[in-house]
Amino acid sequence: MDVLSAIEGRRSIRKYSNKSVEEEKLLKVLEAARLSPSARNRQEWKFIVVRDDKTREELTEAIGQPFVGEAPIILVCCGTESEGVMRGGQPRYTVDLSIATAYMILEAYEQGLGTCWLGSYDEGKVKEVLDIPEGVRVVSITPLGYPDESPSPRPRKELDEIVSYDRF
């Protein structure tokens, strides 16, 4: 895989076919998360694979975005809420899970699968549906399945609009 090509080609998918995801492809996506870097290599995360129809239905309702339930799998990425804050002020678990989620969505694309990074959901309801304990935060969620759409690229700013050298 050419990483930049995957970054360029990946799209947020909001329509999924009913085709099941092969176990080997799911395991490759999860392996990408397992291998992703984490602060101090603490790996304080848990990835919940939701495949059960009833649980997916309840979770989709808790998320509040009906398209999520079209996918045969929903991945819920959780981190342990701790005092761990990086020197720059960011909580370790949010950074760690963001990296892991990015790795998973790129590997999913490599496997011909679609994803859609979700940050808009009712965390309390999600935690209730999945029995997630106190002290654990839901950082990201993504449906995982075969795309049933091919969205066009979204506009991106030019490099000179977002990059500066040596000073802001």
Neighbours of 150 (CB within 10 A): 9
* Calpha distance 17→52 (Å, rounded): 17
- Domain assignment present for residue 135? The answer is yes
**pLDDT-derived band at 81, boundaries 50, 70, 90:** confident
- Mean of pLDDT values over 6-17: 96
- Domain assignment present for residue 132? The answer is yes
pLDDT at residue 86 in the model: 87
For residue 108, give the amino acid letter.
A
User: Counting beta carbons within 10 angstroms of the beta carbon of residue 84, is it exposed (0 to 12), middle (13 to 18) or buried (19 or more)?
Assistant: middle
Domain that holds residue 104: 3-148
How many domains is the chain built from?
A: 1
46-55 residue pLDDT tens: 999 999 999 9
- Domain assignment present for residue 103? The answer is yes
Report the CATH number at residue 133. 3.40.109.10
Kindly report which listed range (83-87, 100-104, 139-143) carries the lowest average pLDDT score.
83-87
Mean per-residue pLDDT of the chain: 95
* Calpha distance 67→50 (Å, rounded): 15
- Domain assignment present for residue 158? The answer is no
Which pTM value belongs to this model?
0.95
